Structure formats: C-alpha cells, structure tokens
Amino acid sequence: MERRDFLHDISQLTVAVCAGSLLAACSKSSDNNATPDPGGGGGGNALITANLTSELTAVGSSKTSGSVIVIRTAAGNAAASFVALSLICTHQQCTVNYIGDNGFKCPCHGSEYSVSGAVTMGPAPAPLKKYTVKVSGNTLTVS
C-alpha cells in the first residue's frame, strides 16, 4: 500500500468515527430528556421539594433545581407565599440570573423580569414560565 492510499484510508476512517460520535451526542435519547431528581423526597413529578422548617425560611430566599427556581415572596407557609418560575429567558433561551428583590436579568440581551416573572424590560416577548406550588404541612412541592 502506498503512503498516499494509506493516508486517504486513515482520514476517511477518522471522518467516519467523528461523524458517528457527533450524531450520537446530538441524538435525543430518553436518558438525555429525563427530569433530574431534585432530591428531598416529594416523589412523582416534583421539580423541587423543600422542607419549610429549614429551607426558604426568609422572604426573598430561593431554591433552585435545574432550570427552575422557587422564591419565598411573603411570610407564612401558604402556596401563595411562594412563586416558582423557569430560569429560561423567553427571548433566546439563555439562563437568567436571580437578583433578589430586583427580579431577574438575562445576561445575553438584557431582558429583565420582576420576581413574579413579568417582563419589565425587553427584548423578551413573554413572562417567565410559572410552575405550580403546593404546600402540605411543612413540605413545599413545585410541579
């Protein structure tokens, strides 16, 4: 085998292996789409669970799991004392930063949201996605 033929064959093999690796990495498998276990019990489809005797005890405190955040907005352990929102900007799906009482700010294009998820400054076209908050005893569950 000549050197030229060898290099041609090896480069084709390298391209085939790289292409296969890229396709496997970009494929949608059930493992890649599984919701991560947020821990702390709650079971079912809970995105976040919190023990209110030790977590989220102060107004403004928050807990994050994946791309979901729950924030205590008022005193008391009623569901209305909390808000749960997606951390994904509705403009171009960047992850927004929670900046306390000032709400959220997107580092990509400057969109701002209130603590309730409403757009306070564009270019975001829609509010942050809200999730359901339930409180049973001292256990908060976001789904």
pLDDT tens-digit series, residues 41-78: 444 678 999 999 999 999 999 999 999 999 999 999 99
Would you kindly state where each structural domain of the chain is located, as residue ranges? 1-34, 48-142
Domain 48-142 homologous superfamily, CATH: Rieske [2Fe-2S] iron-sulphur domain (2.102.10.10)
Residues with Cβ within 8 Å of residue 73, at least 6 apart in sequence: 59, 60, 81, 82, 83, 115, 116
Side-chain-side CA neighbours of 15 within 13 Å: the count stands at 6
Residues with Cβ within 8 Å of residue 28, at least 6 apart in sequence: none
pTM over 0.95: no
The tens-digit pLDDT sequence of the chain (143 residues) is: 677 776 666 666 665 555 554 444 433 333 333 333 333 344 467 899 999 999 999 999 999 999 999 999 999 999 999 999 999 999 999 999 999 888 999 999 999 999 999 999 999 999 999 999 999 999 999 99
Question: Strand pairing of 68-72 and 133-136?
Answer: unpaired
